[in-house]
Chains A and B, each alone.
Chain A
């Protein structure tokens, strides 16, 4: 049924849908270049290498969360609990280690284990129990926020051990932030996994058509849950970096990650219908979000304008990718 409709749509391709398809694949790069040119004109300082590296470091936590969100959206999932999740991991890393270097291994293991458990929970709810993932992850978000509050009694405490601090805020050769390198390594790894491995092909297969994926012998449920677990793991890595980046842990600040990460993924051309898109576009999407926020800041337009811009961007881009509704 779905395929048939798509076939009809393909035959009736007008200029607009050709344009939108071109835009979906290449548009994000053009948009990014335009954004760079605009910010260069408005404030040349933004294009200085040091400022760019600074922004990349700022964006690395979001960037890793975006990789997780991309994997989920390709498989028709989504996760709104990423913000509460990343904050919980940061609080655990800081609170358990209390800046004690001997507990470095412990906090990292705890963080990764918690991350995978949260991913597993989200996966079981969405895949096994078939709850609308957007809503189930709102429920999980509330659970994680509650756990963060109970664990800290409302006030962030402790500090990350030196190694984690080095990961989050250190630099190689005093220039290149280590967190940016972590982001780049993860991005390259997942680009490779998606493009070159069997598991990557499974991810696209269950996203584009779960029924036929299961007919060719892919264990759809298992693969989808595994994607959730991997995403949980990625978010917990982002949480470790955040713990190293911020010198004082706070309970606030996670609220922006869900919408930021979804906006970045959509900007990059991954669609909600599943089975399409990839990490490369999402990274450029992340850069657009980060550079846009910085540009708005320089122009004296703060957080409210970012919310407005993002809402509009999501609507316009999803519309340009999916096209008009002709059925009802």
Chain B
């Protein structure tokens, strides 16, 4: 193998492997389930992928930085509840609510980042606890689904070009932007350095605390974007709609090659992970398997991905 090619392989092998795996899964599924290929179903899959893939970007950045964010699901739920309650209130409702939602997401991300910076509490526990607080706030506000999202927003996200909707365009834009940020900017390199070894990163002149706070802010804001996409789809506020995204985003990111050790992983890898997770959901749906098996499938896929991942670490 030429030297340059080998270098690329060494750097990107986790991404290449997950895309080869994705192609194999896609081919197998299309052959076994002809329904899967129908344009109608494919556009369904795209709709399912969007929020998960957006959340996966933030989760990937959190993991690369050596952290993890267990609040992504509740932030998405919070967003749908706020959108359902406030967007229809006034002519400027939509605009003001979106700004308000992003401000809240920034506050949540900052709180997570500051606590991780200033204490020795592991990020898993920090975000588990802040997640509980956020869930409490949501539930004290709204126990059951309700409120409504203005039609304008629903229409906007669902404008379709062939099988793509605006939501899909947003998704693609976010992936391009964050791939560039993580590979071409000082911030991106700092996140990798911090995840690899925070002490060395600090000695190299990176202000680790600021970078860490930024990773949690990005994760929370992207979870809020995903929440907006979800509320445009459901048209209402649902206090627990984000719950599945916590586990699904971890699964997607880990399939995509990021590790809990930090400093590893690529955003494009997580995209493939998110697509694979969504395909699994979709196949279980179209093959009329009882929805109860979804729990088993999801748990099994997460565990298998973690096991393969832990093998990789040892090599």
Contacts and interface: CB of A to CB of B under 8 A. Distances in A.
A323 to B, nearest CB: 7
B288 interface: no
A145 B137 contact: no
Contact of A131 (B118, B119, B121, B307): B307
A135 B123 CA distance: 13
Interface stretch (B99-107, B225-233, B291-299): B291-299
A55 interface: no
Interface string A115-142: 0000000000100011110111011111
Contacts of A141: 299
Nearest to A320: B119
B234 interface: no
A199 interface: no
Given A142-B296, A149-B292, A131 B310 contact: yes
A134 B69 CA distance: 13
A134 B247 CA distance: 11
B299 A139 contact: yes
Given A135-B302, A150-B293, A323 B125 contact: no
B25 interface: no
Contacts of A309: 136
B: contact size bracket: 35 or more
Counting chain B CB atoms within 10 Å of each CB, the highest count among A259, A310, A314 belongs to A314
Contact of A146 (B133, B138, B299): B299
**Chain A contact residues: over half helix, strand or loop, or mixed?**
helix
Interface stretch (A63-71, A99-107, A298-306): A298-306
Given A135-B302, A142-B302, A307 B132 contact: yes
Contacts of A304: 135-141, 143
A40 interface: no
Given A304-B139, A307-B133, A324-B118, A139 B295 contact: no
Contacts of A318: 119, 121, 125, 129
B294 A146 contact: yes
Contacts of B208: 328
Nearest to B296: A146
A327 B139 contact: no
A131 B129 CA distance: 21
Contacts of A136: 303, 306
A325 B120 contact: yes
Top 8 closest pairs, chain A to chain B, by CB = A146-B295, A142-B299, A307-B136, A308-B136, A149-B292, A311-B133, A146-B296, A311-B132
Interface of B: 115, 117-122, 124-126, 128-133, 135-141, 143, 198-199, 201-202, 208-209, 246-247, 250, 260, 290, 292-300, 302-303, 306-307, 310, 313
11 contacts: A131-B306, A131-B310, A142-B247, A144-B299, A145-B299, A150-B296, A307-B132, A311-B132, A314-B128, A315-B126, A324-B119
Given A130-B313, A138-B246, 16 more contacts: A125-B303, A130-B310, A131-B307, A132-B124, A136-B306, A138-B247, A139-B247, A140-B299, A142-B302, A304-B137, A308-B133, A308-B140, A315-B126, A315-B130, A323-B119, A325-B120
